Structure 1
Amino acid sequence: MRDARFDETIHAPLRLRICGLLRRVDRLDFALLRDTLGVSDATLSKHVRTLSDAGYVTSRKTASAGRSDARRVMWLALTAAGRTAFDAHVRALQEIAGPSS
């Protein structure tokens, strides 16, 4: 098992939820993530930027096959470093919580 490491960047409640949702998939549409979390575009963008600046999340825009206009879909994904940091953070939380009875 890898080492547990508490990560202040990931620990903020919304960023923890973002990482948790992204951890389960290869990538996720920004709009779907926003709607799932029930936050505004601006709020999600701010937290994604923080995670991106830490090297934990990448974003990529692609043309939307289902749209007739020029709007693009933004895809978000955890980087390898993001997956490692998230997993270590979860392990640290488990150590803090102690064994379940």
Structure 2
Amino acid sequence: MTDGPPAHPALALDETVHQRIRLGILTVLAETAECAFTTLRDQLQLSDGNLSRHLRVLEEAGLVEIRKGYEGRKPCTWLKLTRQGGAALRREIAALEQLLERMRTTDALE
């Protein structure tokens, strides 16, 4: 291993998490123990298909848990952030904070 400058904070961003819709999904789910699909869809202003596609990616990565059932006689889907999903979100936020700090210390945002 060679000594050199530390890696740029942007390299710590996770491709799965960083996509804006998926980042939105994870942050909404972090705010609650469980969330209905329709609530998440409405909050993020997405179509059913678009939300489903992003949830599939997050579920395959082990970041969200999807539970289907019924509320009365009506089918319902509930979503939950997994422990792994919470850790991934915390790492993403830490990387974003490092990027912001780097920009602030170089006065690049002024």
TM over 0.5: yes
CA distance in 1, matches of 2:13, 2:20: 13
Corresponding position: 1:51 with 2:54: no
Which residue does the alignment assign to 1:72? 75
Larger C-alpha radius of gyration, 1 or 2? 2
Q: CA deviation at 1:63?
A: 1.5
Structure 2: runs of 5 or more not aligned? 1-8, 106-110
* Aligned residue runs from structure 1 range 1-101, under 5 A: 5-65=12-72, 70-98=73-101
**Runs of 4 or more off by more than 6 Å in structure 1?**
none
Which residue does the alignment assign to 2:4? none
How many percent identity over aligned positions? 35
Q: CA deviation at 1:61?
A: 1.3
CA RMSD of aligned residues (A): 1.7
SS of the residue corresponding to residue 98 of structure 1 reads: helix
CA distance in 2, matches of 1:32, 1:72: 14
Q: CA deviation at 1:6?
A: 2.1
Could you give the per-residue CA deviations for residues 28-65 of structure 1, whole angstroms, max 9, x where no partner exists?
Answer: 00001001111100000000000001000011012113
TM-score of the two chains, using structure 1 as the length reference: 0.86
Amino acid at match of 1:87: R
Aligned residues between the structures: 94
Structure 1: runs of 5 or more not aligned? none
Amino acid at match of 2:61: A
Specify which structure has the bigger relative contact order, considering alpha-carbon pairs within 8 angstroms and separated by 6 or more residues: 1
Q: CA deviation at 1:7?
A: 1.1
